[in-house]
Chain A
Amino acid sequence: MGFSAMRANHKFIAFETIVIKEIRRFTRIWLQTLVPPAITIGLYFVIFGNLVGRRIGEMDGFQYMEFIVPGLIMMAVIQNSYSNVVSSFFSQKFQRSIEELLVSPVPNYVILTGFAVGGMARGLLVGLVVTIMAMLFTDLQIQHPFITVSVILMTSMVFSLAGFINAVFANSFDDISIIPTFVLTPLIYLGGVFYSVQLLPSFWQVVSSLNPIFYMVNTFRYGILGTSDVDIYWAFLILGVFIVVLYGCCIWLLRHGTGIRN
């Protein structure tokens, strides 16, 4: 092609290609990627929000259904951002089609950003579906739109990057389900999705404060309901640090070819 090096517009085309490929992948298998989380979260709304929630009454001054909606949206975004990148990157490693990217002149940061944005696209799409479902059960009023959008984008980015690291180290399909099952799910459930941390004894409040997902869920809840158990600025700082550290780790792994170059 006669390129002396990859110019900015070529890098953008490469980035766009990766993102389109990622979106094409998860929309092609929509029955596996989009429908199950919508059904699962829909069941949470029906069972916990509607049936059980009526007996629980109010939480932090809100109907229980209203209270859990932000956490459930966030849960869908976290799980889907993570699982999109981990499964897509690992299956490309497994089928060796990742070599298509590795032999091409795409810089590592473009590869990483492409996969991360692909993961965010799925996370946010599922989040949107869940939000629409939530609107069938409750009147959703967003109190702080900028905070709501910022925190969901940043959280989605954090878990896309985390999924990338998991995929880099994974050697089998078991390895890509261990972290979501044994680490991510407990952290989400204990991250204040279903309850206010004020209900916990002080010791467990301190333990909860060590869970990064607790900050994300509460900041998102603040954006929608205007109430939170955490300091919003502190939460954004944590999210920012996570993004920078995880992005740096991913670039280091790509540069060293960990798990992908012999």
Chain B
Amino acid sequence: MTIAISIRDLQKTYANGFEALKGISLEVAQGDFFALLGPNGAGKSTTIGVISTLINKSGGAVEVFGRNVDTHVFETKFDLGIVPQEVNFSLFEKVGDIVRTQAGYYGMPRQLAAERTEKYLRKLGLWDKRDERSRSLSGGMKRRLMIARALVHEPRLLILDEPTAGVDIELRRSMWEFLTEINNNGTTIILTTHYLEEAEQLCRNIAIIDEGRIIENTSMKKLLAELDSQTFILDTIDELPESLDFTIDSTPVRRIDEHSLEVTLSAGKDVNEMFSLLDAKGLKIASLRNKTNRLEQLFMSRLNGN
């Protein structure tokens, strides 16, 4: 198995004494779609900053495809594409120029730079905007522009720091499709996000970082399997009685309002049994959803346990 990125005992203490990273270690395999989760200030962006050399580390080592980022500065940068959290392009430049200029920084001849610029601006739905100043773009378009810019040199490893923050649902889903497509084509992706549904949907492996330490590093499947119960919200067709005095899976069924109720099932419990019991009570179910995202439940329990 080829390792796309290996982080060993990474430390960062800022000039004001704040210890942002307290020795984190992490490996991401080539081809993986990896989620790096954590609350605000946990150290996610600092980690990305160190990998991209925008932040000087205090200790530890980072290797990209087996090459140390300190000793093989130029080679590792060809392998890396970074999409930062905040907009970091000139707001006075044209969209096409921003991507073409980035291609130039990677030494791409003019013809190739123009082709790649067109390819990625088209893929991200920005080709029509190529001659517009970047300040005129919407928030979602600005994020897509940063993705196009990060991909123009076709890196083997793409790191995205909250790429869908503040992006509407439709656009977020189209970005998910795009990222899945490039991951399927072989690009390793590391993603930080606050949308746990996004991480659950896209990522195969996950690390949770809190207060500068990795507190969980496992596969998404294994992590979700640790859930010992799930709580569902069910909407009924008919109006519910004032009180519900029965249990399912030894847990009382809770009435939320006249058309919805809450049921908690232990892990592995057959959902059909729940429907049979509700049916026997004369309750017709119109729809069902998880009360909270499954990953969110685990995420909160890990943070609370830390």
Contacts and interface: CB of A to CB of B under 8 A. Distances in A.
A139 to B, nearest CB: 42
What is the interface of chain B mostly: helix, strand, loop, or mixed?
loop
5 contacts: A1-B153, A20-B104, A95-B89, A105-B77, A105-B106
Given A1-B78, A105-B78, A17 B53 contact: no
Interface in B80-133: 80, 82, 84, 86-92, 97-98, 101-102, 104-110
Contacts of B53: 102-103, 261
B101 to A, nearest CB: 6
Contacts of A14: 104-107
Interface stretch (A5-13, A143-151, A204-212): A5-13
A57 interface: no
Interface of A: 1-7, 9-11, 13-14, 16-18, 20-21, 24-25, 28, 91-92, 95-97, 99-107, 257, 261-262
Contacts of A10: 106-108
A171 to B, nearest CB: 14
Interface of B: 14, 49, 52-56, 73-75, 77-78, 80, 82, 84, 86-92, 97-98, 101-102, 104-110, 149, 153-154
A262 B106 contact: no
Nearest to B146: A100
Given A1-B108, A13-B107, A102 B73 contact: no
A2 B106 CA distance: 11
A256 B49 CA distance: 15
B90 A95 contact: yes
Nearest to A97: B90
Contacts of A13: 104, 107-110
A96 B49 contact: no
Contacts of B87: 96
